[in-house]
Structure 1
Amino acid sequence: MDQMTKVLTDEVKEDKKITELLVKNGLVFTGDGFQEMTIRIVDDKIADLVEGEAGPILETKENMIDASGCLVVPGFIDAHVHFNDPGRTEWEGIETGSRAAAMGGTTTIFDMPLNCSPSTINLENLLNKKEYLTSLSHIDYALWGGMTATNLHNRQELAQMSEGVIAWKSFMSESGIDDFQHLSPQDLKKAMQAAKEHEKILALHAEWEQDIVKLTAINKQHPWRNERIAYLASRPILAEERAVSYALELAAKYGTALHFVHISSPKVIGLIEEAKKSGVNVTVETCPHYLVFDEEDFLREGAILKCAPPLRPRKEVEGLWECMASGMIDTIGSDHSPCLYSMKETNSIWDAWGGIQGVQFTWLPMLDEALKRKIPLKQILPLGTSNVADRFRIAGRKGRISPGLDADLVFISLDETTIASKESFGFRNVYSPYEGRVFSTRVKKTMLRGKVIYDDQNGVTNEKMGVCL
């Protein structure tokens, strides 16, 4: 190599600033289990997984991260959050929401199309939201599009939106947001057809609206009745069952890819499992709060645990874990739905905002419960990693520790505890039903695309390097 070529080559290397990093001494999740391996990261991608020594690069303090004593797992993907940006940032915002997520080991979120204001139900709102969120997030993100009773007629605009959203979201019951209208049974047929045309998943909040309206009216008639019991009675499992059954019939008819969010009952999951076996393209999510809390917790704690569908009896919680152990649940999503605390402190449970702040505490209770119930972690971890990536077509970037994918990693200690105290919360509004809980696991570090964005000693970095997928 002549001197000029060497100078030019060195300039190119300097300009690109190629970085190499080793993650050593951890037990790395391979999909089939855990293995002691070295992960070699080049720039923001996983380059190699090596048993033993990592190869030719010189190990220094600057380019080696010691994962001793930790499980090293893929960064978690939470396909169900409401970060409320833009328009209701005082409820959360992507800056604080992504901070809390990173603290819990989540490196990618899918932000729902409602609770921001305006809702993401047309192309202008979608483009404005994308622009607004730029450079605000600590972690990577994708955006849901909303398919509602008011935008179904505009098929051309929906087709344009489909290019920029991860999937579609619709409600079969009132959403609680004025500009996000639920779908009637007839509307749902059109939504199924549109989603099929776009080759996008249609996710459904599945509760039968007519049942809820009727039962709510009945249960509000007696003001002396315990309001919390009345709220539970207004949204029974039967309303979920009826909505899911109807949607499954339509999905089978139209060939739509369907995803049910926050299913709360093993009976309903059984219906979905039967549909899968018959060839329906369907997946199901449940949430940590349906696996940790029950209706007795709601009756005792009140609005801080109000959600829809509501928490269920303990036998339903145990049934969900049986479904989990049997492989019938596909994904776990936090359904992080924050608000001002004043919106929980209402005189009537009917007026309180329904939603749970939990994105920071999605995986600590999941891992705790799995370990306690002797469910192998290799069975639980894909519900927040590879299963989500596969279903939503981002497996070329996310969801596994594999060469060529983004170096999104979480270091988890099984030998240290985490106390969910107010001082530890990353949320904008400092409250959560998880407050006071002690978890037997701890997130030590979170890495996004090869950079440590959180460690338990220094907190979340100031850099906001999250990008829209």
Structure 2
Amino acid sequence: MKTELWVKNGYVFTEEGFRNVCIKIKDGVIYTLYESEHEPFQETHVNIIDASGCLVVPGFIDAHVHFNDPGRTDWEGIETGSRAAAIGGTTTIFDMPLNCSPSITNVEKLNLKKEYLISKSYIDYALWGGLTDSNVNNSLELSTMCEGLIGWKVFMSDSGIDDFPYVRPDQLKQAMKIALEQKKILALHAEWQDEIDSLTAFYKQQNGMSERSAFLASRPISAEERAVDYALELAAKYGTAIHFVHISSAKVVEKIQEAKKSGINVTVETCPHYLIFDEEDFLKTGAILKCAPPLRPREEVEGLWDCISNGWIDTIGSDHSPCLFSMKNTDSIWNAWGGIQGVQFTWLALLDEALKRQIPLKKVLPLGTANVAERFGISGKKGRIQPGLDADFALISLDETTIADPASIAFRNQYSPYENKTFNLKIKKTILRGKVIYDDKRGEAKEKYGEFIHQKEGFYGSVPH
């Protein structure tokens, strides 16, 4: 009877870098690593996954997706979203509390969502809760709700969702206090709403300006800077652990890096679209590349890559924010839904670009593996290839290419700014707790093995090093 699983012949990314080792797995957990020439097994007693020609890296963790389940499954749904993520090498996601309907802003809605998601995901998942204008003063509800959440999500500007109102500057102080008391990370969408309102009103009246140019001008980097400055000031005052999501500007990353050096418990995420596309792409393509903050000039893209090289960016999240194509195909850019569909292509695009830039993969891989696990308190189970952790892997070939053919898109609405791009690598297999959940020849697994995962008890916001 075959009782063991081994991953053989791959080039394995470990704490010591890439190594030619075999991985022994028992009960879905990494048991040990052996140097390849010292394999202590008889092949008749084990299952073997041959990783010849592949990099074997930890399964990716995407801390920022909107899978819209329950309530808006015509936009996505965890079944299609998790399938697309698995095809892209992702084995764990943290689902945001908005764009599902209703948004997750109280205990009843959270429990309904937890119950609803059981057995629907191909990959493991955790949940964010929503701290909003409507619940920020309800400390009893929030304290009951927080158990089991990965953290709180706060918008400092309009979320675009009616039942997820943004937190005003005066309310952010209360949000900071709540997150500190509960020992939960506060994830911030940082744009200054008053500045956006003023500029939007102004640029909508500029007749000589295209709508796309006007939209870009209405959400400048200064709106990010002002929101980040204010949040950092409060985090320094209260000692709250904060995490800035989808930062689009190197200038803002540098500001956060200085705050981190001063002792503030802060980390920063950026997204693939800010590292691949620029404002010229948006001006040419339109609503499919509409997001908030918007895409930036090419010098900002280059600056973000410099930040990655410098080790100043902590995590990468897809911010997969899907919708019906009709919500993009509108007469006015102002009315189009703002969000990028890309969870399937996050790591294909990012690693391809890093390799083109000759940035070592050992600098980039932790941004979607070890750093995410460490920051959010799941490093005892996820994020590295080492004994005792879940056997979550992506097997990647650098000798093959992937074309983002529209027919291959696995999320529910088959369009993406990445479609028809060619990536000079290929995800060959995705493995979750020792089970192959995606194989490039056979497709995804028939069974859905995804489970709800919990943060380590007593954890509070470790900053990756």
TM-score bin (small chain): over 0.9
| Runs of at least 5 residues in structure 2 that lack an aligned partner in the other structure | 454-465
Corresponding position: 1:430 with 2:417: no
Q: Is the 8 A contact 2:4 2:46 kept in 1?
A: no
CA deviation string 1:20-72 (max 9, x = no partner): 10100000001332010000001110001000256544214960110000000
The count of residues paired between Structure 1 and Structure 2 equals: 453
Q: Deviations over 1:430-465 (max 9, x none)?
A: 000000100001000000000000011111112111
CA deviations 1:210-260 (Å, max 9, x no partner) are 000000011111355200000000000000000000000000000000000
* Mapping 1:362-441, distance limit 5 Å: 362-441=346-425
Which aligned runs of 4 or more in structure 1 are off by greater than 4 angstroms? 53-56
Separation (CA, whole Å) in 2 of partners of 1:54 and 1:243: 55
Q: Give the AA of the match of 2:113.
A: K
The answer to whether the 8 Å contact 2:72/2:100 transfers is: yes
Tell me what 1:277 maps to: 261
Report the 3-state secondary structure (helix = DSSP H, G, I; strand = E; otherwise coil) of the residue aligned with 1:246.
helix
Q: Please point out which of 285, 307, 316 is paired with 1:332.
A: 316
For 2:329, the equivalent position in structure 1 comes to 345
User: 1:69-90 deviations in whole A, cap 9, x for unaligned?
Assistant: 0000000000000000000000
Alignment of 1:184-203 (within 5 A): 184-203=168-187
TM-score (norm 1): 0.95
SS of the equivalent of 2:144 reads helix
Alpha-carbon distance between aligned partners in 1 of 2:258 and 2:163, rounded to the nearest angstrom: 35
Q: Which residue of 2 aligns with 1:113?
A: 97
2:459 matched residue in structure 1: none
Give CA deviations for 1:291-310 in whole Å, capped at 9, x if unaligned.
Answer: 00000000000000000000
The 2-side partners of 1:137 and 1:171 are apart by: 27
Asked whether the 8 Å contact 1:101–1:360 carries over to 2, the reply is yes
Paired position in structure 2 for 1:267: 251
Q: Secondary structure at the match of 1:273?
A: helix
Which residue, 449, 454, 462 being the options, matches 2:433? 449
> What do residues 80-126 of structure 1 show as CA deviations (whole Å, max 9, x unaligned)?
00000000000000000000000000000000000000000000000
Distance 1:170 1:99 in 2: 27
Partner Cα distance (1:88, 1:223) in 2: 36
CA contact (8 A) 1:418 1:441 kept: yes
User: Could you tell me whether the CA contact under 8 Å between 2:180 and 2:240 is conserved in 1?
Assistant: yes
Residues 1:294 and 2:278 aligned together: yes
Looking at structure 1, the residues matched to 138 and 381 of structure 2 have their Cα atoms a distance apart, in angstroms, of 32
**Match of 2:126, SS?**
strand
Contact 2:2–2:47, Cα closer than 8 Å, also in 1: no
- 1:38–1:53: 8 Å Cα contact kept in structure 2? no
Return the match for 2:305 from 321, 325, 328. Answer: 321
**Percent identity at matched positions?**
70
Instruction: Find the aligned partners of 2:44 and 2:327 in 1 and give their Cα distance.
Output: 52
Question: Is the contact made by 1:83 and 1:337 (CA closer than 8 Å) also made in structure 2?
Answer: yes
CA distance in 2, matches of 1:58, 1:320: 49
Shift, 1:414, TM fit: 0.5
Pairing 1:213–2:197 present: yes
Q: Does 1:152 align with 2:152?
A: no
Structure 1 alignment gaps of length 5 or more: 1-16
Deviation per residue, 1:118-151 (Å, 9 max, x gap): 0000000000000000000000000000000100
CA distance in 2, matches of 1:65, 1:190: 51
Aligned 8 A contact 1:40 1:54 in 2: no
Displacement after TM superposition at 1:401 (Å): 0.4
Tell me the equivalent position of 2:157: 173
Distance 2:148 2:7 in 1: 34
Q: Which amino acid counterpart does residue 132 of structure 2 have in structure 1? A: T
